[in-house]
Structure 1
Amino acid sequence: MTGDLERGTNKDTALSVEQQVMIALRFYESGSHLQVVGDTMRFYKSTVSRVVDRVTDSFVARKDDFISLPDNQRKNVIRAKFYEKAGFPNVVGCIDGIHIRITRPRINEPALVYRKEFHSINVQAICDHE
Structure 2
Amino acid sequence: MNPRVYRPLVDLSTMEERHIILRYRLDRATIHELCAQLEPALMSPIRQPTGIPPLVQVLSVLHFLASGSFQTTVAMSSGMSQPMFSKILSRVLSALTKHMRRYIVFPEEVDLATVKGDFYALGHIPNIIGAIDGTHVALVPPKDDEQVYRNRKSYHSMNVQVVCLADQYISHVNAKFPGSVHDAYVMRNSSIPYVME
Band the TM-score falls in, shorter-chain normalisation: 0.5 to 0.7
AA matched with 1:20: Q
Q: Which amino acid aligns with 1:18?
A: L
Match of 1:126 in 2: 165
Q: Secondary structure at the match of 2:92?
A: helix
Q: Is 1:70 aligned with 2:99?
A: no
CA-atom RMSD in angstroms:
3.5
1:127 match: secondary structure: coil
Question: Does residue 60 of the first structure (1) align with residue 133 of the second (2)?
Answer: no
CA contact (8 A) 2:129 2:165 kept: no
- CA offset digits 1:83-120 (Å, max 9, x no partner): xx7477xx53137xxxxxxxxxxxxxxxxxxxxxxxxx
TM score, norm. by length of structure 2: 0.38
The reply on whether 1:17 has 2:51 as its aligned counterpart is: no
Paired residues of 1:7 and 1:14 also in contact (CA < 8 A): no
Question: C-alpha separation between the residues in 2 aligned to 1:23 and 1:74?
Answer: 38
CA distance in structure 1 between the aligned counterparts of 2:112 and 2:56, rounded to whole angstroms: 42
Moved over 3 A (4+): 73-78, 85-88
Flag structure 1 segments of 5+ consecutive residues without an equivalent: 96-124
Amino acid at match of 2:90: D
Q: Distance in 2 between matches of 1:93 and 1:3?
A: 32
CA distance in 2, matches of 1:68, 1:77: 16
Q: Deviations 1:25-68 (Å, cap 9, x if unpaired)? A: 11112110001111122211011111111111111110122233
* Equivalent position of 1:51 in the other structure: 88
Distance change >3 Å, CA 74–CA 17, structure 1 → 2? same
Code of the aligned partner of 1:56 = L
Distance of 2:71 and 2:79 partners within structure 1:
11
Q: Distance in 2 between matches of 1:87 and 1:69?
A: 18
Cα separation, 2, equivalents of 1:2 and 1:21: 9
Percent identity at matched positions? 21
TM-score scaled by length of structure 1: 0.54
Residues of 1 paired with 2:50 and 2:90: CA distance? 19
Does residue 1:3 correspond to 2:40, yes or no? yes
Given that 1:75 and 1:92 are in contact with CA atoms closer than 8 Å, whether structure 2 keeps it comes out as no
Question: SS of the residue aligned with 2:165?
Answer: strand
How many residue pairs were aligned? 94
